[in-house]
Chain A
Amino acid sequence: MLLTIFWLVIEKLLLIGLIVSLSMVVAMYATYAERKVAAFLQDRIGPNRAGIFGLLQPLADGGKLFFKEEIIPLASSKFLFILGPCLAMITALLTSAVIPWSTPLHLFGQDVPLQVADINIGILFIFGVVSLGVYGIMIGGWASNNKFSLLAAVRGASQMVSYELPMGLALLGLLLLVGDLRMSVIVQNQIEHGWHIIYQPLGFIVFFICALAECNRTPFDLAEAENELNFGYHQEYSSMKLGFYLFAEYINMFISGVVMSCLFFGGYDIPFVNEASWGISQNALAIIGFLVMLTKAFFFVFVFMWIRWTIPRFRYDQLMNLGWKKLVPLALFNMIVTAAVILWLKK
């Protein structure tokens, strides 16, 4: 009994370490990918000096951020100034907790689920953590004691708060289908009945737009509109604290890609094949599932980048109009229709 508990603790600790480092590595290489994608879309070469194809560029950037002198403005509120980026980073890392990364591994005669915590309020937990992310921006921007930072922080907070609402409403149709808030059950439901994108296309579109806004990505990057607000809410930051804000943005992007593939695109499910009939070991299946999941997530990250270099920024009133007068009613409509259809088909 004691031994099983011991193994459980070790396995969870390893998994947590793995997920935290995976998020960091993906965030680092997302900066590289962003520059390469931008270069590709603008017919340039992109970073190519550090290592082959510039593959060591993110390491060089990370090292540079680490060794930079940190400047804390004299007039700033020092504790909150440090708390802001830490909060952004912590919330970015926490979202990955409820995601089922793949089918269970089979190690030392035990099934090891590749999910940190399969809590019964999975989606609600994600929303809770995402809404805490507002504080990272708001506290950091306010504590800098800088006019541009303050304005950017207020904008960012207002925007994230406004888009959280349609984001939550868009998922209700999906929850009506599944009838459970657990992430693992949601993915399992898709393996059995087909991907949710087929049943909930409207919900997905609303969710995708809101995910762009929640990550502060173009066309909704009003919190760091560089030609109006210098550098946005992290203008006074330098060194590792700036790095945290930038990393948090890329981790959020990756995690929202993962969440979208979990909720609407079957998670680790491979379409049109029954991989259980291949006759390969459980561990191999788990690794394949994990790679499939990553591929789907990276596809969404790529789409995010593609959109960034394609669509110009919204004006603030347009942003608010889109959120409150278009997305909220659309999501509500989607929910009512889904509920009616489900009840009608049930009879």
Chain B
Amino acid sequence: MGASSLIVLMIAAVAFSGIAILVSKLIVKATKNKHKGQPYECGVPTKGPNWVQFNVGYYLFALIFLIFDVELVFLYPWAVVVKKVGWLALVEIVIFFFILFMGFLYAHKKGALKWV
């Protein structure tokens, strides 16, 4: 029953957001206008493309995040069974961390965690 009620909630959430937007669209009469459709910046027309280049640092953090987030997914089942497995589980996870920590140190030494 758990999963099916989750799906019902999902449908309810989708329906709610869809209906609210549709109703507000139906009630309000929208007028099209070339100047209204301009990007809102500071009053003067924008120059150049709007999808600008941004700092590469954001990508670096995303990459490091990806590695550690996958690790986190492994840690959850580990945390649940530690009591049953005992000390061996702790030793194993420390080794697991040590390997990952080397990667973290490497990224740190390379300056990936420093915001420029």
Contacts and interface: CB of A to CB of B under 8 A. Distances in A.
B54 A117 contact: no
B95 interface: no
Nearest to B81: A179
B98 to A, nearest CB: 11
A165 B25 contact: no
Kindly name the residue among A69, A236, A244 whose own CB sees the greatest number of chain B CB atoms within 10 A.
A69
A111 interface: no
Contacts of B37: 71-75
B39 A75 contact: yes
Interface residues of B, number: 62
A123 B17 CA distance: 25
A158 B54 CA distance: 12
B39 A239 contact: no
Contacts of A169: 72, 75
Contacts of B31: 69
A346 B62 CA distance: 39
A176 interface: yes
Contacts of B2: 117-119
A124 B97 CA distance: 21
Contact of A240 (B1, B20, B38, B65): B20
Given A75-B37, A165-B72, A82 B5 contact: no
Interface in B32-47: 34, 36-42, 46
Question: How many A residues touch the partner, as a band?
Answer: 35 or more
- Identify the 8 closest CB pairs spanning chains A and B, nearest first: A74-B37, A317-B115, A175-B79, A240-B24, A117-B2, A93-B13, A86-B17, A119-B2
11 contacts: A66-B23, A70-B30, A74-B34, A75-B37, A90-B17, A93-B9, A94-B9, A145-B51, A165-B65, A175-B80, A230-B40
Given A158-B61, A161-B61, A339-B89, 17 more contacts: A20-B13, A67-B24, A70-B30, A85-B21, A93-B16, A118-B2, A164-B65, A175-B80, A176-B83, A179-B79, A181-B80, A235-B40, A244-B21, A317-B114, A320-B61, A332-B97, A335-B79
Interface of B: 1-3, 5-6, 8-10, 12-14, 16-18, 20-21, 23-25, 27-31, 34, 36-42, 46, 50-52, 54, 58, 61-62, 64-65, 68-69, 72, 75-76, 79-83, 86-87, 89-90, 93-94, 97, 113-115
